Chain A
Amino acid sequence: MRIGLIGNPNVGKSLIFHQLTGIGVAVSNYPGTTVDLKRGSLCLERERMEIVDLPGVYSLDGQSSEEQMVRTFLQEGGSDALVAVLDAAHLERNLYLIAQVAEYGVPLVLVLNMMDEAEASGIEIDIAGLSQILGVEIVPVTAIQGKNIGKIIPAAISARPGTRIEVHYDHHVEAAVRSLQSMHHSTRLEALQALQGIGNRNELLESAEVLGREIERIHLMSVSQIIAGNRHHFAHRVTAAIIHEKLSPRQRDLDRLLTSRVWGVLILAGTLIAILALVFLVGSAMEGLLVRAFDAALVTPFRELALPPIATQLGLSFLLALQAGLGIALPFIFTFYLAVSILEDSGYLTRAAFLADRAMHRVGMHGQGIIPMVLGFGCTVPAIMSIRLLGSRRERTIAAFLVTLVPCSARTVVIAGMLAAFVGIGAALSVYLVVFILVIVTGLFLSRVTPGEQLGMIMELTPLRRPQLSNVLAKSWYRVRDFLVVAMPLLVGSSIVLGLLQWAGFFTLFQEFIGPYSTTILGLPGYATTALIFGILRKEMALETLVILAGTADLATVMTPVQLYIFALVAVLFIPCVSTIGVLYREVGARIAVLVCLYTLSLGVIIGWLINIIMT
């Protein structure tokens, strides 16, 4: 039996999903889209249940990729029963979606989540009355405390098709639906959708358009608006009947501060800087410990085994990849995601997006775009994963380029380790300035040439809540695991390939070949270019390899300050690391991934070349 979890965004659906399925969650791609459908399974009374966590949607008639995906899932009969999760504190808005869900006729159970919040804000819901009116079973839960979660699946199993949820539409709409049904032998649902331009039966859509135009002329409103209005009216009528008490809304003093023009922006900037500093400090400390422990426990003993050269090379490449993956994943990504999950769960992230909207607009994105950009300072991989939050293909494309440019913590290591240490702090900071300018210029350029319309931001400010530690930890862990699933195989694979090339003496040939170009264009010795190539594996490996190839950790003795500066800048800019390329491919497709690589490669070479010309 397969059960779908459906509901508005931010109603605690994912939390319930994790509670129902435990850790047996696999992330799978739904065919044809980049949006994930999470599937998990559980056993109940010897029967295996599959639970599908559908992305949060406000409606089933919209055009966003999430909405289209959920609609397709329902149309194709993706589940035997649906569990609709509702926010009890915002019941009316949530019932709007339920009015649409019921039209699909799948057995339905409603879960009223956040009963505690509803209670706290003085909302008293007559559960029995609601169940009576809607004709479905209702399970009130407080997911954050794990209250009543166990009752959800049994209720879903015993759910039968047919509810009393029926929206009576405007009589012109109803007449049009009847005509379409008899003219084209369509179902009521198909007819309703056709009136809103949804579906793929051309003759049905054509008739619907003619009828729809007539309705629009009478009402001076679009058919979609009329239908939406009728559904909202239904939701309003139901809630009015079963919510008995409503006290004055709670205090919003904190929000007044968080979104104020001056303080809000200061708080936002302070929060971001604090997170970056925290992640960098905690991350580098943890990374140092991890890498050293890894060396001591595995790498050194392995070297001491004195295996044949090829085996040593392969083994070391493998260990190196594991070390690189863990060295990024645990210290930086986990710490970063802890901080971001706290911001997310508290509801602050939506305020941040709201405040940043105007600035982000200049570079072709909207407020929500600030999230991947900030994440990019930690690690580019989760940052690219988060661009799926952005509404349009256009924004995702622009974000893919800009996020890749943002210096991640590994690149910060290069900047700090080479420039701050050997050239000076001013030189180190100037790299950030160069990147910042490049981000702006790229954004201005892309916002002009990227196809697609710049749509405005419509975003719900989620209520401010106290984040729950267990939830924050779980969420961060799921994300780290997502990273490991994507990045690890790539890291291991490419590390072994590089290792084999090195063993085969390829890099000696490569150095001879690239040396002259490297010297003429970038003013760098040939081995520095080889070091840069290793940076593709993990950016800070460019620095580590350089130290090995140069034969000294005191780089100032073998390279001039200008050479160090060029090396650091090129390492920061040129081709993203292999994990980033992998995740770019997954999130925005091969074409954009290749374009991003080519763009950053040429940026790196051109900027390095320019500096070489200017400075020497």
Chain B
Amino acid sequence: MNSSLKKFGQGLLVLLLASSFIALGIWQLQRAQDMQKSSTIAVDTQIYPLTSLASPTGSIPPESIGKIVSSSGHYIANFKAPNQKDGKGRVADWEVALLQNETDTAILVVRGLWKDRLANPDIVMSTSVEITGILLPHQNDDRAENTPQQLSRLDSSLLTGITDMQLYDGFILEQNESTRASATVRPRISAPVLTSGVPGFYLQHISYVVIWWLMALVILWLPFYSRRGNRIDS
């Protein structure tokens, strides 16, 4: 009776462990697929109002990512975002501003390269601006240290301590900017390659799928393993 109970317990444990490893493999497979999906975004040249594609209360819907949006308001803060990589693979420091919309909401806007920030001295905090740009999700990885003047990554959650406004998740990569007087002329940044937000790489996740499922197989094989013959190891 005791022996049957012990075997039942062992069998249950083996099944539990094996199913956990299989589930972990499926989870890694899902992450690998998420990474692949993110690289296929349809081209859409229509300009949408920011409020129609995103709201400040939640994250940016996946279908809104990469769309061209328009917004207007005042720049209320300026930051340096070091070591940012554009679509052409060039790494540089970017100028990022916090744009307060007409309401009590704000969104991060990448205006251009940090070295070009003094090209348009006429835009001050009181100047009303209208912008269009590509809506992108927040970054997950830090590129530098976070300080009051510098953003470690393009992520509005870094600013929750310095403003009471509702902040949009993600940021706008500016393509055009105009004031009541004129359009701003400065070199713009090409859109960086989008990643899924899942850390790691596709092939890395696939290798983890193989590892977890291999471990599941090992666990299922263990009950049948016996050290027949002369035992060498102790």
To the question of whether A and B form a pair in one complex, the answer is no
By a beta-carbon cutoff of 8 Å, the part of chain B in contact with chain A is none
